[in-house]
A = this chain, B = another copy of it.
Amino acid sequence: MAATPPLHRSSDADTRRRIIRATAALLQQQGYESTSVKRIAGAAQASPSSVYHFFPGGKQELAIEAMHHGAREFGEMLAEGLASAADPAEATAACALLLADDLKQSEWSDGCPVAVTALETIGRVPGLQEAATQALTQWQSLVTAKLTESGIAPAAARSLAGTVISMLEGAELLSRVTADDTPLRDAAVHLGQLVRAAPRV
């Protein structure tokens, strides 16, 4: 598979990365069904042939890889928010505010990289649903780690971390649909309250 050393001009892997990035961006903005392969190719400055050359599995395979890419990016943002304060309550609230700022800056267009695509394809594109589950689980683990580090009991931390992700997803949905960051800002306040009230070991 990797028999030949990559002596190429690097255009190869570059094109592949451009395609994934373009796909991730479009999925985040308009979901799976509204995003055509032709449009992806256009946004990535590539031709449809290149898309199918690098992703023989077609749109599905491409979407799965793009979702992994988006999940990693979103995870980094989450980690940044969680690291912004020692106190876990402040940290989780910061995540919601970070999301609110980013979302507003993109004029409510760059939402969660998983939500729309996952909801659209539930039960119909198993690979995508699996990738989405992985992403959500990974994010929950990030939050769980922060909560346990701060002295919250492990069982409570896991459950609370799930609720943090739920709240972020839901508030982002409301904010995008209503084009108003109030839901995310309220979520920040209430997440802080919840974490502060969590039982410590």
Contacts and interface: CB of A to CB of B under 8 A. Distances in A.
Nearest to A191: B163
B177 A133 contact: yes
State the number of copies, please. Answer: 2
A173 interface: yes
A49 interface: no
11 contacts: A31-B120, A115-B173, A119-B173, A119-B177, A120-B120, A136-B177, A162-B174, A166-B187, A169-B169, A169-B173, A193-B197
Chain A, interface size category, equals 35 or more
Contacts of A115: 119, 173
Nearest to A35: B33
Contact of A171 (B31, B170, B183, B190): B170
Query: A-side binding surface: helix, strand, loop or mixed?
Result: helix
Nearest to A136: B174
B169 A174 contact: yes
A85 B197 CA distance: 24
